[in-house]
Amino acid sequence: MGWEQKVDKCHDRLVVRVGGPGGPMIRWPDRGLGGAYTWSWADPVGETRDISPWVGDGDQIHLWATIIETGETGDHQCDMDTLYNGQRKQRWEFDGDEDHDISR
């Protein structure tokens, strides 16, 4: 299983990057309006996705996330979890920029 990201609520558009604002963006072609973002308001919530192709399987990772407010929802809150082998390691509840060093 390894590292995973679970999105519980996403208003507007979410970008998650490895290492910081200039790092590689975590994205999937079937999410985030065709992979332009990590997640968007139109994607399903409560879904968990593997992020190990971006972060590997190390003991600690650093993720940075931002919400891009577009006015599509009138709310730009994001709630999500970073998991390792199905166990929550970091809870995110934010509406701007946020970053975390996350240990397994």
pLDDT in tens, 6-53: 999 998 999 999 999 999 999 999 999 999 999 999 999 999 999 999
Return the structure tokens found at 101: 């060093």
Q: What is the pLDDT of residue 76?
A: 82
Helices (H) and strands (E) counted in the chain, each on its own, are 2, 8
How much is the CA Rg of the chain, to the nearest whole Å?
A: 12
Return the structure tokens found at 36: 């332009």
pLDDT in tens, 58-104: 999 999 999 998 888 778 899 999 999 999 999 999 999 999 999 99
Alpha carbons 78 and 3: distance in angstroms, whole number: 19
Q: Are strands 13-18 and 60-68 parallel, antiparallel or unpaired?
A: antiparallel
What's the whole-model pTM score? 0.94
Q: Cα 79 to chain center, whole Å?
A: 9
Structural domain boundaries in the chain? 3-103
| 55 membership: H or E segment, kind and range | helix 52-55
Q: What is the pLDDT of residue 75?
A: 82
